[in-house]
Amino acid sequence: MITIPYLTALTTYFSYGLLFAFGQFRDFFRKIFDWWHASNLQGYAPICLGLEDFYIRRLYLRIQDCFGRPICSPPDAWFDVVERVSNDNNKTLKRTTNVSRCLNLGSYNYLGFAASDEYCTPRVIESLKKYSASTCSARVDGGTTSIHMELEECVANFVGKPASIVTGMGYVTNSAILPVLIGKGGLIISDSLNHNSIVNGARGSGATIRVFQHNTPSHLEKVLREHIAEGQPRTHRPWKKIIVIVEGIYSMEGELCQLPEIVAICKKYKVYVYLDEAHSIGAVGKTGRGVCELLGVDTADVDIMMGTFTKSFGSCGGYIAGSKELIEYLKYTCPAHLYATSISPPAAQQIISAIQVILGEDGSSRGAQKLARIRENSNFFRSELQKMGFEVLGDNDSPVMPIMLYNPAKIPAFSRECLKQNVAVVTVAFPATPLLLARARICISASHSREDLNKALEVISRVGDLIGIKYFPAEPQKQQLEENRVKLE
Ligand SMILES: *[C@@H]1O[C@H](CO)[C@@H](O)[C@H](O)[C@H]1NC(C)=O
Ligand SMILES: *[C@@H]1O[C@H](CO)[C@@H](O)[C@H](O)[C@H]1NC(C)=O
C-alpha cells in the first residue's frame, strides 16, 4: 500500500493533465495535416498505430534521453555511458565518441558477477573455445551439450529441488512454460503486481485468471475460497488445477514476498505454488538460495520454482525447478525447450561457475563475502536514504529500492541531474508502474564499495533537494505526516 500526499497527488494529476491537453492540441493539428496527406497511404492501413500511440509520442518521447542509454563497458559498479547529442530537441539522439564514467545504480548485478571475474571468466572463455558461442540448435535436436546437463543438475541442487530445466531467456521461462502447465479449465491466481512475463504467460495459457491484492495473504485466501466454492464459470465444475503465482522480490517495489503465509494458505487449500525468484535467487538468503532460505520456507512446499540467471549470476536465461516428474513433462512439451535455440554454452558455463563461487566450491570465501556484502550494502543504503527523507519502498535485505518521484517532470530531472554528476540511475513510469507512481529504481550490488555508496548518497541527496523529492522530513517526526495522505493501491 502506497500513500501519497494530497498536494503531490494534485500536482501530479495537474502535470499529466497539462501534458495530455498539450498533446491533444498538437494531435489536432497533426490530424489535419494527415488528412491533407491521406492519399500517401494508398489504401493501406497504417502499420504503426497512427494516432493511437499518444502516450509514446506526447509523453515518452519528450524524455526519451533518460531511457535506453547505451553503455560501452561491463555493467560493473562503475561503467561507461555513451554521451549522446541531439540537434532536434531530443527527437533523435546521436551517439558521440565521448563516454562518461558513471557509478552504476541501475543494473541487476547483485553479486558483481557481471564484471570479469577471476574464477568465472577464464572458464567461460575456455567453454567458448570448446563449444563456440551458440549451439545453433534446439535442445531436443543438437542443442544439448554436456554443459547444459551439468547446468541443470547444478541449478536443481542449488535451489533445492530434484530436477530443473533451463531456457535461453528469462522472460520466456514464464511466458512459455505457464501455457504448458495449465490451460482451459484451470485457475491461475496471480499477485496484482506480477511481472509482465507472468501476465502474458497466464493469458496465453487460456486458464481463468484471478488477481489478488499485492502481497496480501488474507485477500489471496478470500479469492481462493470464493473460486473453489464457485468452480468453473457457467458449468461450476471443479477446477482442473489451481496455481498461485507470486514473486520472491517484486522488482518494481523492492518488496519481499509474504511467502510463509502464502505457502500455508496454498497447502490448506491444496493448490500449487509457483514462485518467480528472478530478483531473489542468488541475491538473498544466507547462502544465496533466495527467499525460501531467507524466510525459512521449505522448498518442498513450493511446487514450481522459477528464476533467471540474468541478475545475480551475470548471465542470461532462466530455469524451472521442481519434481522429476514435472521437469520431465516440461521437457516433452515446453516450446522453449523443443523449438528455441538452447542457451549459449559460455552463458551456461558462467552460471555454473558463479554458483560454484557462491557455494565456495572454488576454494575461496568470495561467495560468502559477496552475499554478506550485498546485504550490508542494501541495508545501509536503504536506511541512509530513509534518514534523508526520501520515500523508499520495499523491505530490508532487498537489493532493489525504489525512490518515489511521483511527478512526471521529476522523472527526467532526477535522471539527468544524477547523470550530470556521474551517477547513472534507472527511472520507471507508466506503463511499468501506475500513472501516479513514477519512481527511480536503485539496484545495489555487492561490487559497490562503501565509498561508492557514500558518493551516490551525496549526489542523490543533492539532487533530491534540488527537485524536491524528499517527501518526508529528515529523520524524526515521520508519523505525523502519514495522516494527511491519500491511500492508493
Ligand atoms: C534533451 O536532453 C538533455 C539531456 O540529455 C536535457 O538537458 C535537455 O533539457 C533536453 N531537451 C529537451 C528539449 O527536452
Ligand atoms: C567530447 O568531449 C570534449 C571534452 O569534454 C568536448 O570538447 C567535445 O566537444 C566532445 N565531443 C562531442 C562529439 O561531444
Q: Please, which residues have CB within 8 angstroms of residue 28's CB and are 6 or more apart in sequence?
A: none
Write phi, then psi, for 327 (nearest 5 degrees): -65, -40
Specify the residue with its C-alpha closest to ligand 2, atom 6. Answer: 98
Query: Is 86's C-beta closer than 6 angstroms to any atom of ligand 2?
Result: no
The 10 Å Cβ neighbour count of residue 450 is: 11
pLDDT at 60: 86
Q: How far is the CA of 433 from the centre of ligand 1 (A)?
A: 23
Beta bridge partners, 486, equal: 4
Query: Is 98's C-beta closer than 6 angstroms to any atom of ligand 2?
Result: yes
Top mean-pLDDT range of 31-40, 82-91, 335-344 = 335-344
Q: Which ligand has the minimum distance to the alpha carbon of residue 82?
A: 2
The 10 Å Cβ neighbour count of residue 446 is: 25
Least Cα distance to 161 among 361, 36, 57, 297 occurs for 297
pLDDT at 30: 81
Q: E-assigned strands of 60-193?
A: 78-85, 94-104, 163-167, 187-191
- CA triple 109-110-115, angle to 5 deg: 40
pLDDT band at 56 (very low <50, low <70, confident <90, very high): confident
Specify the residue with its C-alpha closest to ligand 1, atom 6. Answer: 416
- Ligand 2 pocket test, candidate residues 94, 96, 101, most atoms within 8 A of CB: 96
What atom of ligand 1 comes closest to residue 65's alpha carbon? 5
- The yes/no answer on whether domain 120-358 falls in CATH 3.40.640.10 is yes
Q: Is 446:373 a contact under the CB 8 Å cutoff? A: yes
**pLDDT mean across residues, the chain:** 93
pLDDT at 485: 63
pLDDT at residue 366 greater than cutoff 70: yes
* Average confidence (pLDDT) over 17-22: 90
Q: What are the grid coordinates assigned to 299, written together?
A: 522448498
Q: What are the grid coordinates assigned to 400, written together?
A: 532493489
Specify the residue with its C-alpha closest to ligand 2, atom 11. Answer: 98
pTM over 0.85: yes
Range in 53-57, 81-85, 290-294, 320-324 with the lowest mean pLDDT: 53-57
pLDDT band at 49 (very low <50, low <70, confident <90, very high): low
pLDDT at 7: 87
Each residue's pLDDT tens digit, 368-383: 999 999 999 999 999 9
Burial class (CB in 10 A: 0-12, 13-18, 19+), 470: middle
pLDDT band at 38 (very low <50, low <70, confident <90, very high): low
Ligand 1: list residues with CB < 6 Å.
65, 86, 89-90, 416
pLDDT at residue 438 greater than cutoff 80: yes
Q: Please, which residues have CB within 8 angstroms of residue 459's CB and are 6 or more apart in sequence?
A: 418, 421, 422, 423
Residue with cell 493469458: 203
Q: How far is the CA of 100 from the centre of ligand 2 (A)?
A: 11
* Average confidence (pLDDT) over 449-468: 96
Where is pLDDT greater, at 81 or 478? 81
pLDDT at 481: 55
Instruction: Give domain limits for the chain.
Output: 120-358
Each residue's pLDDT tens digit, 159-196: 999 999 999 999 999 999 999 999 999 999 999 999 99
- Ligand 1 pocket test, candidate residues 62, 86, 100, most atoms within 8 A of CB: 86
Q: Is 424:402 a contact under the CB 8 Å cutoff? A: no
pLDDT at residue 70 greater than cutoff 90: yes
* Average confidence (pLDDT) over 297-326: 97
Query: What span, in angstroms and rounded, lies between the C-alpha atoms of 93 and 1?
Result: 38
Specify the residue with its C-alpha closest to ligand 1, atom 12. Answer: 89
Q: Is 277:284 a contact under the CB 8 Å cutoff? A: no
pLDDT at residue 335 greater than cutoff 80: yes
Q: How far is CA 116 from the centre of its chain?
A: 23
Least Cα distance to 246 among 232, 258, 230 occurs for 258
Instruction: Give every strand in the sheet of 94-104, ordered side by side.
Output: 78-85, 94-104, 423-424
